[in-house]
Structure 1
Amino acid sequence: PGRHLDPPGLALTVIAIALLNYAVIQGGYAGFGTPAVLWSFTGFVLVLAAFLVVESRSRTPMLNLRLFRNPSFTAANLVAMVAQYAFVGMAIAQVLYFQRVRHESILETGLLTLPVTGTYLLVSAVAGRVVSRLGFKVTLTGGSLIAATGTLLMLTQTAHTSPALIGLHLAVFGAGAALVLPPSTAAAVVSVPPAEAGMASGTVNLFRQIGNTLGASVTGTIVTSGLISRLPDQLTQHGVPSEATRDITDGIASGTPIAAIPAGIRDNVSAAFADAFTSALHLAVLIPAVGALLAAVAAVLFVRKHAQIH
């Protein structure tokens, strides 16, 4: 009762997230020192500051900033954001790996990524029972550690790793994510008074969607820029003539398929591409792995075992 929409808060949120994603994507393409990227990052900071001011002064804010005084609520949101970032980032990296390195079809790629989605579905179905028995702290901490383990296992992935082994890594990650994402919402909701439960649920969703968009933009940027920066050295190591290295790198950067490259060096270019891409993938998945480990620490320190309403 007495609540109404918060158009300024909504508009500022959308603008801030859009600026951040644009800066990340454009920075990976044109360089993070370019004027457009610097202005976008600056705009993001200014709009975010304006959002915090507006929400702190609004009588019915979209986001009640006082909720973040509760450490358990804050930790649950951050854990959810990191887990969603990792889930989306890992999925994008693996899809690109299967299609660009293993040359799998779209259908085959979908089947090869079933271990993560299938495991997530099965484990999330029993996540509530796990929380009831072990509590939020153990569940979120354990889930974050399992997800980090699955992501770190991907660092062993090469261009020739068997799909079965990759599937095992994906399944481990999926199980961990399933013990984090659904319970994190419940942990946040029960940490606030009943009248704020809807806002708490919406806040977790907001943080998950931020992780969702950043997982896509940051991972795509890292894989793309990492591939292009590593490709020249890999081409040289695989015996591609130095005079052709730059043209091939520029062509791949602009989307030229390897099939269009002269047949005499196509196999060498394909092998170099696979090695460069896999190396870039390692960096892309290392970031969510570290994030998941930090999320586990946050859960241990701040999430209540059985979150209590204040």
Structure 2
Amino acid sequence: LIIGQDTDGLTRAYSAGLDWAVKLDKADFAGKPELVWQHAETGGMRLVGLQPVDGTIVPPEASQIVRPGRGKTLEIVGRITSSRMSPTLNRSICLGQLDASVAAAGTVVTVRLPDGRDITAKVTDQLAHVDPSGDRQQLVTDVAEPITAAIEPPERARSAIAPDSAVAAVPATGGAPDAPVCIYDQSGLAKFGVRAAPDGSVARALGTGFARTTRAADGSLVVGSGPGEWLVLADPATASDVRTWLESATGSAGEFASVVDLTHGRALIRLAGARCGDLLAKVCGIDFSDDLTPSGSALRTSVARLVTDIVRDDQDGVPGYLLHCERSSGRYLFEALVDAGTEFGIESLR
């Protein structure tokens, strides 16, 4: 659901499927009379999920949804607001605004494409096309007796996970070699944020773009965390040299660019093991299959309802993910991941 695209200034909470967030049983509050009226109102537009009958066709956004009007005219009863080809479902999926009279689940509507062709689409039961019931995040495994993991934070000075101990990076080693999931506090790694033009000389020096990663010659991991935005992770022993390199690259670029040391302001957690993707699926809505998020992928999303940068970083053929968030949220994220990983026999390494 994209605010401002799937909704507009006339969209109401009940028409956008957000009624779960409205509690009319509370005492009087600002806006309650309007919400009571909206709850009783049955007309107007509704935000619905749509799937074209021909799943190979992706109707462009803003395509009109029509029905026969008077005579030979057509009546516009809605529009496509978002449309994509889903790699998970292998078909096109859409959201759209529809008149309430044709917004019931199962209704077949006509979509007029910009080239004049008409296609049919069916209104879905829910707005979510993939896993609408959330079953994917309620995994049941064959682990007979899950290993209960301690959730005490690592005893590491000034770590974002345990703020009272020495800055140190715990190497991603140790634990049982066949452990389904291991979790490591790597907050002590040096972290540098870089901002520059996405297609300028700094971008070329860093060697990677948005949503991808690369390894520098000294072993530092360069992450394209956003358009014109990079995160560089380095061993503390080489932090000074890495910073010098970054400052040299940005200082001589001839463009606006900046380098900021984020080491003490961010938490960094590593998950590794054959089941770490299943663990993340319980707390994040992203599809972590190898074909969609292969090693070297980078994205920013919500993990356990926390804005988090995720980097797929496999090592020696073992799946691995780096999770980067604000320092103040590090302990919460660590404990949320340990809690979600208990059924997989997670090993917490400190």
In which range does the TM-score fall when normalised by the shorter chain? under 0.3
* TM-score (normalised: structure 1): 0.26
Q: TM-score, normalised by structure 2?
A: 0.24
Q: Which has the higher contact order (CA 8 A, sep 6+)?
A: 1
> If each structure's strand is expressed as a fraction of its own residues, which one has the higher value?
2
